[in-house]
Amino acid sequence: MECGRGAAKRALALAAVFAVSFVAAALVSSRLLQSRITSAATRTTTPWLYPGAALATLPSTLDIHHLGALTDPTAVTRWAPVLRATVARGSPSVNGSFVGLLRARTSDGTTNIVVADAEVDVAGATWERVGLAKLPNGTEGWVPRSALGGWSFVDTRLVINRARFTATLFRGERIIFRAPIGVGATGTPTPTGRFYVRDRLSGFSSPVYGPLAFGTNAKSPTLTDWPGGGVVGIHGTNQPWLIPGEISHGCIRLRNASIIRLGQLMPVGTPVTIQ
């Protein structure tokens, strides 16, 4: 009897130990599984975070208090579309002298844009000094910031050399494009100065302009090749054998393969220096 009772006690003790071990193992397994789930979730979400960059500290495209001057050929240029017609004035004030009317659309029917080289706050209103498409070339005027859309940025600049008959496109200080060109003839010269690309056009019914054309804010006091006259454009041609030379009514002509390549590299808003 004593042997039977001893064996029963030993069996109960072993069962208790087994039960405790099972519960402990289950708890450990549950914690490991939870740890793995948490770790997996962390690995999944971490790549979407921006460590150390609060939204308020991110740069804003509307921060326009440090504009590069148009006279600095290496500066990044900022341009904005014209949202509504407004008066450009000789000083940053509604009482400033009338300089010209800045329209929301160009004569080509495209959205008008302007490049700004200065900004000032007056009596709670922000004013921008912008280059205008009017004679005399180089005319600037002050317009309210509220008349313009958001800023876009370009780091390209085009240099037209009339004596060498070349167009050279820079990105920063690096040349990324160069091609021979035709410029204005003696009686209808291409004007010199600092300008910018105002629009881009294609699909002309006439082959005179080639497959692509850029309009600038440069104006000619005489006839140009541009529809309606006056605007100095940069476009292709149906007479490539005349390039290089003084061949146009003031516009800048490139061979069609060159204008297509330029169109792949030069965005609207690019400054243009004609010398």
| Contact predicate 26/33, CB 8 Å | no
d(CA 169, CA 104): 28
The architecture CATH gives domain 77-153: Roll (2.30)
What is the model's pLDDT at position 41? 33
CA distance 210 to 198: 18
User: Please, which pLDDT band fits residue 220 given cuts at 50, 70 and 90?
Assistant: confident
Instruction: Give the residue-averaged pLDDT of 198-223.
Output: 91
HEC string for the chain: CHHHHHHHHHHHHHHHHHHHHHHHHHHHHHHHHHHHHHHHHHHHHHHHCCCCCCHHHCCCCCCCCCCCCCCCCCCCEEEEEECCCEEEECCCCCCCCEEEEECCECCCCCECEEEEEEEEEECCEEEEEEECCCCCCCCEEEEEHHHECCCEEECEEEEEECCCCEEEEEECCEEEEEEECEEECCCCCCCCEEEEEEEEEECCCCHHHCCEEEEEEEECCCCCCCCCCCEEEEECCCCHHHCCEEEECCCEECCHHHHHHHHHHCCCCCEEEEC
More confident residue, 10 or 84: 84
pLDDT band of 36, cuts 50, 70, 90: very low
Q: For a pLDDT cut of 70, what percent of the chain falls above it? A: 70
Question: How far is Cα 74 from Cα 57, in angstroms, rounded to an integer?
Answer: 27
Residue 100, classified by CB atoms within 10 Å of its CB into exposed (0-12), middle (13-18) or buried (19+), is: middle
Q: What tokens were used for 61?
A: 């495209």
Q: What's the average model confidence in pLDDT over 80-91?
A: 97
**CATH match of 155-274 with 2.40.440.10:** yes
The pLDDT mean for the chain works out to 79
Contacts (Cβ under 8 Å, ≥6 apart) of 271: 70, 73, 77, 115, 154, 157, 158, 194, 195, 196
Assess whether pLDDT exceeds 80 at residue 63.
no
Does residue 47 register a pLDDT over 80? Answer: no
Q: In this structure, are strands 193-202 and 212-219 parallel, antiparallel, or unpaired? A: antiparallel
Cα gap 125→194, rounded to integer Å: 28
pLDDT of residue 20: 45
Residue that wins the pLDDT comparison between 186 and 25: 186
pLDDT in tens, 162-186: 999 999 999 999 999 999 999 999 9
For the segment 115-157, what is each residue's pLDDT rounded down to a tens digit? 999 999 999 999 999 999 999 999 999 999 999 999 999 999 9
Inform me whether the pLDDT recorded for 12 exceeds 90.
no
Confidence band of 45 (pLDDT split at 50, 70, 90): very low
* Greatest mean pLDDT among 27-31, 132-136, 241-245: 241-245
Quote the CA–CA distance of 13 and 5 in Å, as a whole number: 13
pLDDT score recorded for residue 79:
96
Task: Identify the pLDDT of residue 57.
Answer: 26
Task: Judge whether residue 62 has pLDDT over 80.
Answer: no
Q: Quick one: pLDDT at residue 32? A: 40
Whether the per-residue pLDDT at 8 is higher than 90: the answer is: no
